[in-house]
């Protein structure tokens, strides 16, 4: 009886050791994946910082003014006139205000094409768009 119990306990200990090793191995794999992802995130953040610095360098007003002066003959750039800016109410109608074509008339099959109805946009509240323009 004692030998049977010893063999059972050795088997249970071996199974427990195998399960423990498997769990440890999976945990180490997950830890490696976490380290790899952290390295990728750090690389992406460094790349973003580098691109921001590059953009700040390229968009410096002194540099842009120098480029405008150098290439003014070829580009013939002119400053934007203040009258070129528009307010939101001066823009064309919103997509939600565009009239929907009448599909029912097209499906009736009357032979002749139905004349589309002209929809006059009703003056509604002013659109709440931020345009950055000053009144």
Per-residue model confidence as pLDDT tens digits over 93-109: 777 777 777 776 656 65
The kind and range of the H/E element at 126 are none
- Identify whether 48 is part of a domain: yes
Say if CB 66 and CB 113 are below 8 A apart. no
In a domain, residue 106? The reply is no
Classify residue 89 by its DSSP letter.
Answer: G
Residue 39's pLDDT band, with cuts at 50, 70 and 90, is very high
Token pair for 37: 């992802």
* DSSP for residue 108: T
Tokens of 99: 């009239």
Question: Counting runs of H as helices and runs of E as strands, what totals does the chain give?
Answer: 4, 0
Q: What is the largest CA-CA distance in the chain?
A: 104
Please report whether residue 114 resides in a domain: no
What is the DSSP code (8-state) at residue 59? Answer: T
What domain range includes position 63?
1-74
Q: What are phi and psi of 100, to 5 degrees?
A: -85, 130
Q: What is the mean pLDDT of the chain?
A: 81
pLDDT of 129 > 70? The answer is no
Residue 37 falls inside a structural domain:
yes
Please report, for residues 13, 46, 119, the alpha-carbon distance to residue 8 in angstroms, rounded to integers and kept in the order given.
Answer: 9, 57, 88
Q: Tell whether 51 is covered by a domain.
A: yes
Structural domain includes residue 13: yes
Q: Please check whether residue 57 lies inside any domain of the structure.
A: yes
Tokens of 18: 């195998």
- When divided into structural domains, the chain yields a total of 1
Local confidence band at 12 (pLDDT 50, 70, 90 cut-offs): very high
Label residues 88-105 b or e (16+ Cβ within 10 Å = b): eeeeeeeeeeeeeeeeee
In this prediction, residue 58 carries a pLDDT of 94
Tell whether 100 is covered by a domain: no
Is it the case that residue 14 has pLDDT exceeding 60? yes
């Amino acid at each position: 009886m004692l030998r049977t119990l010893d063999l059972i306990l050795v088997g249970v200990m071996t199974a427990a050791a195998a399960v423990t090793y498997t769990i440890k191995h999976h945990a180490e794999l997950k830890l490696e994946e976490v380290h790899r992802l952290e390295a990728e995130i750090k690389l992406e953040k460094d790349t973003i910082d580098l691109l921001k610095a590059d953009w700040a360098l390229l968009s410096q007003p002194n540099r842009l003014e120098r480029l405008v002066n150098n290439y003014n003959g070829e580009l013939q750039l002119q400053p934007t006139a203040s009258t070129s800016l528009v307010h939101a109410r001066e823009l064309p109608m919103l997509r939600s205000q565009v009239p929907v074509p009448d599909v029912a008339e097209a499906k009736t099959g009357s032979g002749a094409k139905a004349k589309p109805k002209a929809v006059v946009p009703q003056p509604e509240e002013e659109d709440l768009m931020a345009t950055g323009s000053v009144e």
